Amino acid sequence: MTDKLNDAHQARYSRQILFHEIGERGQGRLLASRVTLVGCGALGTVLANTLVRAGVGFVRICDRDFIERNNLQRQVLFDEDDIAANLPKAEAAARKLRRINSGVTVEGVVTDVNHTNIERLAEGAHLLLDGTDNFETRYLINDLAVATGRPWIYGAVIGATGMCMPIIPGETACLRCVFDEPPPPELTPTCDTAGVIGPAVNIVASFQAQEAIKILTGRSDALIRGLMNLDIWTGRNTIVNVQPGFEKGDCPCCKRKRFDYLDGSAGSRATSLCGRDAVQIDPRRDGGRTNFEAVAAKLRGIATGEVLQNAFMVRCTVGEYDITVFADGRAIIKGTADVETARTVYAKYVGA
């Protein structure tokens, strides 16, 4: 990594360079850094916005979803035009970020990150970032991070509260040292059941971004060690020391080197989405390939009302269900939280 900055870099990042903990050396390191962000919703948009503005040289943004009107309250990279254009989140975010900073590379990938593709999506990344809303994908990130010895930053937010933890494999506790198994979904509040406020999102994601910047600038010595618990409403914030769980524990992931999520033995192909009355179906992991044009033509024949189509997705309403099919073959069926019902709808209207 080079510490030499050109004049354009000096001018653009001058205020950050003046901050002595970063300096020219840290800025040079940021520009040479590559990160992969998994999930570009509330936390993800704030993370991507902060890191692209800071000059992280390569940011790959992976997200499986489209934008809904209720996202705009907190997902800072999206606007009403993106919804009108039916843009998936990863594409809308990448377009906006390129307008913010043309001097770095931003890549948007519309995909469901899973055990079949995470290694490729994280290839070359110095750091992985958690912008997800579910434990399954976080455990997958954790598995890959530990298996390949790369740091990642866990983040979660709900209501006015949130958590953040930087994870350096082999040095700090990993996610499974702290949470051994995912909590049952019925006991887990989600943004769609408990709500979430913008300030909590911004603060949690900003802590994640700050820890990311420390790692990328070579200042891991300054990391906040432990699990941050933030309550934005009351202002009561704590840092839980989770290190004894790492040092004395018997973590299935970082101690026993069992990567249940990365090897595919845990995890599912149909996923009920974060309590929002929708299910994602991912047929590709069954080995099949989807002909996007054929699916679009089929839906045009059965849709109730208009069928919207662009290069990224086709969407329509069929009876009580809103169906969105992405170019990679995945579908999100809205109108049910029941996986079997969604599978049936998919098989009936989209294709088995």
**Which residues of the shown chain bind Zn ion in the complex (CB under 5 A)?**
174, 176-177, 251, 253-254
Quickly count helices (H) and strands (E) in the chain. Answer: 14, 14
Tell me the residue type at 102.
S
Q: How far apart are CA 35 and CA 217, in angstroms?
A: 13
CB of 220 to Zn ion, least distance (A): 18
Q: Which is nearer to Zn ion, 57 or 249 (CB)?
A: 249
CB of 176 to Zn ion, least distance (A): 5
- Sequence-distant (6+) residues with CB within 8 A of 251 are 173, 174, 176, 177, 180, 245
First to last CA, the chain: 49
Q: How far is CA 344 from CA 134, 221, 338, 347, in A?
A: 24, 52, 10, 5
Q: Which is nearer to Zn ion, 7 or 250 (CB)?
A: 250
Q: Which is nearer to Zn ion, 141 or 279 (CB)?
A: 141
Q: Nearest CA to 63 among 273, 310, 290?
A: 273
Q: Which is nearer to Zn ion, 138 or 176 (CB)?
A: 176
CB of 142 to Zn ion, least distance (A): 8
Q: How far apart are CA 11 and CA 17, in angstroms?
A: 10
182 within 8 A of 156, measured Cβ to Cβ? no
CB of 225 to Zn ion, least distance (A): 15
CB of 158 to Zn ion, least distance (A): 23
Q: Which is nearer to Zn ion, 254 or 299 (CB)?
A: 254
Q: Which is nearer to Zn ion, 61 or 254 (CB)?
A: 254
Q: How far apart are CA 295 and CA 314, in angstroms?
A: 8
Q: Which is nearer to Zn ion, 126 or 176 (CB)?
A: 176
CB of 147 to Zn ion, least distance (A): 12
Burial environment of residue 184 by CB neighbours within 10 A (0 to 12, 13 to 18, 19 or more):
exposed
SS3 letters across 265-290: CCCCCEEECCCCCEEEECHHHHCCCC
CB of 222 to Zn ion, least distance (A): 22
